[in-house]
Amino acid sequence: MIRILLVDDQPLVRAGLRAMLDGREISVVAEVGNGLDAVREALRLCPDVVLMDIRMPELDGLEATRRILVDDETGTIRVIVLTTFDLDEHVYRALRVGASGFLLKDAEPTDLIRAIRAVANGDAMLSPSVTRRLLAEFATRAAPTGPPLAVDQLTSREREVLRLVVAGLTNEEIAGRLVISLATAKTHTSRILAKLGVRDRAQLIVMAYESGLVRPGARD
């Protein structure tokens, strides 16, 4: 059962999301209407996934996301940002502060449920309208910081897997591309995350671009 915290300042939106999600091996453990309450309840309840609105009173969803993930001692909470605004800057900022996914509120229910399951399993999930090219474009705003020293700990196979993760491939697709088992692909991905000290695939992608480990526009 995946435990969800709903965060949106509109009660009707929260009610609709709850009705959509409850009973699909997903349990809504709480719902709140502002960013401050989101931080408090997320750290108290430690849900698997927080569905986070961006524009809210008292504290916006991006800052709430940052605070939750900074203070999450368990390291297990994942955040999916939901918004009615398909703005590039929101996408980049959401990923930069630690969100694992970004979806528009007009996404199909099946897409939302798929996103929740994927993020709960450690994958990244972006709206279909959000392309890898867009992320690369924003990552070039600052000069590359240089790859973390831990990159030297990656094996040649792990470097291959890293490039495919950054290219947006799922574990299943990576397994097919490299002709390895799905379990092996998952193991490689988990080891990469652990060695580089990042929470999930979304943060791995951000780190790879911002550090210059992967060049914007480069092909795998």
Domain extents for the chain? 2-130, 144-210
47 with 32: CB under 8 angstroms?
A: no
Q: Give percent above pLDDT 70 in the chain.
A: 84
pTM recorded for the entire structure: 0.76
CB 50 within 8 A of CB 80: yes
Q: What pLDDT is attached to residue 220?
A: 47
The highest-confidence range among 37-46, 52-61, 111-120, 204-213, by mean pLDDT, is 37-46
- Residues 188/122, Cβ–Cβ less than 8 Å: no
Report the topology of domain 2-130. Answer: Rossmann fold (3.40.50)
Q: 144-210 domain in CATH 3.40.50.300?
A: no
Which pLDDT value is given to residue 128?
A: 47
According to DSSP, the residues that pair with 27 across neighbouring strands are 3
Beta-strand ranges (E) seen in 33-169 are: 49-53, 78-83, 101-104, 125-126
Q: What's the whole-number mean pLDDT along residues 192-209?
A: 84
Q: In what order do the strands lie in the sheet with 2-7?
A: 26-32, 2-7, 49-53, 78-83, 101-104, 125-126
- In the DSSP assignment, the letter for residue 217 is T
Residues in contact with 139: Cβ distance below 8 Å, sequence separation at least 6, in sequence order: 92, 206, 209, 210, 216
Residue 151: the pLDDT is 80
Cβ burial of 188 (10 Å; 0-12, 13-18, 19+) is buried
Average pLDDT, the chain: 84
**How high is the pLDDT of residue 85?**
67
| Same fold yes or no, 2-130 and 144-210 | no
